[in-house]
Amino acid sequence: MKLKLWQVDAFAVGPFAGNPAAVVPLESWLPDSKMQAIANENNLSETAFFVPRGDDRYDLRWFTPVTEVALCGHATLASGWVALNELSKSSKLVRFETKSGELTVEKDKNGYLRMALPSDKTVPFAAPPGYAAELGQGLGVAAPDELHIGRYVLAVWRDAAVVRAIKLGDISGVMDKADKWGLIASAGGATTAPYDFISRFFAPSHGVPEDPVCGSAHSSLTPFWGKRLGKRQLRAYQASARGGELLCTDDGDRVILSGPCALYMRGEIEL
């Protein structure tokens, strides 16, 4: 049995930047264990699998090397790129049915892709005593100035240099205390120019020590910084080693993320 595979760098103008995702179109679902094994073999932050429903609609699922997740932005963008540029070149928009509802990806006039994700509104996190200091220690930097919580823990620093200086250590204990598996580290405002905010994202318990460019994190970051900065459209940069730029729009109950994708590889999987 042979399966086609594309590896696409999302939020990247060329290969070796942005966030790589493997995309595997299927005619019907494989057993979950087989899809998980493929994702583990690919050893990327996400492998996306989708099954056609007709009329540019697909069912879409995402797997890290160790588990399935309910939402992944960059692998959705990469899946949209494959569907619109390799499988249905005449189409301008594709719809994915997922565990997080319907997600859309469309081509814009600049050749970028626009993706709509459900917005995630964070609230201040009433963390246990000593939590901020313990988190800072696990990241090798000073304690965050603010803590918020939504889909993930959001730690905010006033100085972007602190976010850039993070070196991930053991944060399993502090993440367990928050009952969350993902951590966003962010700063915004004057220290992040020319960007409105920068971020990094960590999910070691899900096999992703640091995600190079995390779309789902920006579904939290966009409404957070949009409200704080009084902006509907924001320029964002994920300050991982690979780096990635995003144009983010706060559209109420949806967040629109725009960016380019770069094809790295076409291949086949032997099963």
Overall fold of domain 2-116+257-270: Diaminopimelate Epimerase; Chain A, domain 1 (3.10.310)
Burial of 76 (0-12, 13-18, 19+ CB in 10 A): buried
Our answer to whether residue 46 is catalytic in this structure is yes
SS (H, E, C) 2-30: EEEEEEEEECCCCCCCCEEEEEEECCCCC
123-252 CATH: 3.10.310.10
* Structure-block tokens of residue 133: 């200091």
Longest dimension (CA), the chain: 56
Per-domain boundaries in the chain: 2-116+257-270, 123-252
Contact 20, 64 (CB under 8 A): no
**170 three-class SS:** coil
Q: What is the pTM of this model?
A: 0.94
Confirm whether 2-116+257-270 and 123-252 share one CATH topology: yes
Q: Is the dihedral of CA 131, 185, 78, 107 positive or negative?
A: positive
pLDDT of the chain, 271 residues: tens digit per residue? 999 999 999 999 999 999 999 999 999 999 999 999 999 999 999 999 999 999 999 999 999 999 999 999 999 999 999 999 999 989 999 999 999 999 999 998 777 999 999 999 999 999 999 999 999 999 999 999 999 999 999 999 999 999 999 999 999 999 999 999 999 999 999 999 999 999 999 999 999 999 999 999 999 999 999 999 999 999 999 999 999 999 999 999 999 999 999 999 999 999 9
d(Cα 214, Cα 104) in Å, to the nearest integer? 17
Contact 245, 212 (CB under 8 A): no
Catalytic residue among 41, 46, 97, 134: 46
